[in-house]
Amino acid sequence: MTPLLPGSATLGVLGGGQLGRMFVQAAHSLGYRCVVLDPDKASPAGAVADQHLCADYLDSFGLAQLARDCDAITTEFENVPAIALETLAGMRFVAPSGECVAVCQDRAVEKAHFEKAGVACAPHAVITNEIELAAIDPALLPGILKTSRMGYDGKGQVRVRTPGELTAAWQRLGQVPCVLEQLLPLAAELSVIVVRGADGAIVNFPVQQNLHRDGILAVTEVPAIGVDAALQQQAVASARQVAEAMGYVGVLCIEFFLLQDGRLVVNEMAPRPHNSGHYTLDGCDVSQFEMQVRAMTGLPLVPPRLVQASVMLNLLGDLWFRGGEGPQTPDWAAVLALPGAHLHLYGKAEARPGRKMGHLNLTADTPEAARAVAAQAAAILGLPF
C-alpha cells in the first residue's frame, strides 16, 4: 500500500469506547484527522474525534459516509459486525480485515485457527446440539463452558464439574453454540501483542504477565519476571505464527496460559489493542495505539522498546462505590503524588460496578520498584495487590 503520511489523511474507527479514544489520541499526535462511527452519542472516542457519526454499525448510510470521509478504517472492538468491515473494504483500506475479525468472534473457529497455525490450545469440544452435549468426553471435566460468540471479560462463561452441571449450564446459556474447555492447572497468565503490516513486516511488544479477577483483567506486569526467557520466546513465536497464518494486518493480542507443568497453551485472541497493553502508553517508546495507526497507514513498524518497568492497574467503577453511600471520586491526588504514576481516565460520565473507567500505569527503573509503587497505589485505592 502507498503510505498515508502524517498530516495528510483522515482515519476512521468503528466503535467509540476507550480503545477508540486512545487510538484517536495517538492518531491526533501524528497529525491525522479521525472519524468515529458509534451509535452512542456520549461515546468516549466520539468525544475526542474530529467527527462522530452517530449510527449503527450496519447502517448503510453511516458506513458510506465513513468510507467517503476516511482514507483508511479500523475497529476498536471485536464484536463489531464483520460484514460491516467487509462492506467498507470494498471502498477503503480496512485493517484488520472482516475475515480476520470473524475468526476472533467465534471461539470454535478461533480454536480451529490456532490448531491450523500449529499452536497448542487447551483440550476442548464444540457443543452445538444435544447429541454433541451427550457425547462429551468426561476427561474434559471439570471445565469451563464458554459461548462461542459475544463473550468477553468473563461474560458467557460457566465453570462446570460434572455432566449434570454441564447440561444445566448449557441450558442456562440458552443452548447457543458453546465450547467446553478442560480446566487446566495454571501457573500464570501471559499475553503478547504483535503488530503486522500489509507488507508482512511484523514486530511485537514484550511478554506481559496478567492477573484476572472475576474474569476481568486486574493487573499487568512487564517485564514478566516470573517467566524464563525460553518460554517468553515460545510465546512470541506462537503469537507471530497465529498472526501470519491469518495474513493479519494491525494490532493483535494473543493470550496464553502457562501451566504448572511448564507447558504453554494459547487461550484466545483479540483483533485490536488490548487492556493488557495499556502500559505501553507510558512504559514503551511507542504505544500499541500508535502501532495501530502505523499498521493501517503503512508507516514503518519499528520494534517497540520497553523503556521502564511497568505495572498496570485496571480501574473499574467499583472504586467509586467503596464508601458504601453512592459514587465518590477516588483520591487521585494521593495517587498522583506517587513517583511514576500515570492516570488514564476514559471520559465515561457514569461510574458503574464492573465498568472499565480507566487504568493506572506505574513505571520505575526496575520491576521491583514498579511493584512497590503499584502496591502503594493499590493501598490508596483499596485494591487488592
Closest CA to 42 of 18, 62, 58: 18
Nearest-angstrom CA–CA distance, 154 and 216:
6
Q: Which whole-number Å values give the CA distances from 125 to 87, 153, 175, in the listed order?
A: 33, 21, 15
212 is annotated as contributing to ligand binding: yes
263 is annotated as contributing to ligand binding: no
152 is annotated as contributing to ligand binding: yes
Nearest-angstrom CA–CA distance, 230 and 80:
36
Q: For the chain, give me the number of helices (H) and strands (E)?
A: 13, 18
Per the CB < 8 A criterion, the answer to whether 68 and 10 are in contact is no
**φ and ψ at 22, to 5 degrees?**
-70, -30
Per the CB < 8 A criterion, the answer to whether 292 and 251 are in contact is yes
153 is annotated as contributing to ligand binding: yes
Cell 497505589 -> residue: 377
267 is annotated as contributing to ligand binding: yes
319 is annotated as contributing to ligand binding: no
157 is annotated as contributing to ligand binding: yes
What's the DSSP call for residue 275? G
- Cβ-proximal residues to 57 (8 Å cutoff; 6+ apart), any chain: 14, 37, 39, 63, 80, 81, 84
* Cell (9 digits) for 37: 462511527
What's the DSSP call for residue 241? H
156 is annotated as contributing to ligand binding: yes
189 is annotated as contributing to ligand binding: yes
Per the CB < 8 A criterion, the answer to whether 205 and 280 are in contact is yes
181 is annotated as contributing to ligand binding: yes
SS3 165: helix
Q: In this structure, which amino acid lies at residue 215?
A: G
SS3 318: helix
137 is annotated as contributing to ligand binding: no
Beta-strand pair 341-345/356-364: antiparallel
Nearest-angstrom CA–CA distance, 260 and 9:
49
Radius of gyration of the chain (CA): 21
Per the CB < 8 A criterion, the answer to whether 272 and 251 are in contact is yes
Nearest-angstrom CA–CA distance, 355 and 87:
31
List the beta bridge partners of residue 259: 186
32 is annotated as contributing to ligand binding: no
241 is annotated as contributing to ligand binding: no
Q: Which residues are annotated as a binding site for ATP?
A: 107, 146, 151-157, 181-184, 189, 212, 267-268
Q: Which residues are annotated as a binding site?
A: 107, 146, 151-157, 181-184, 189, 212, 267-268
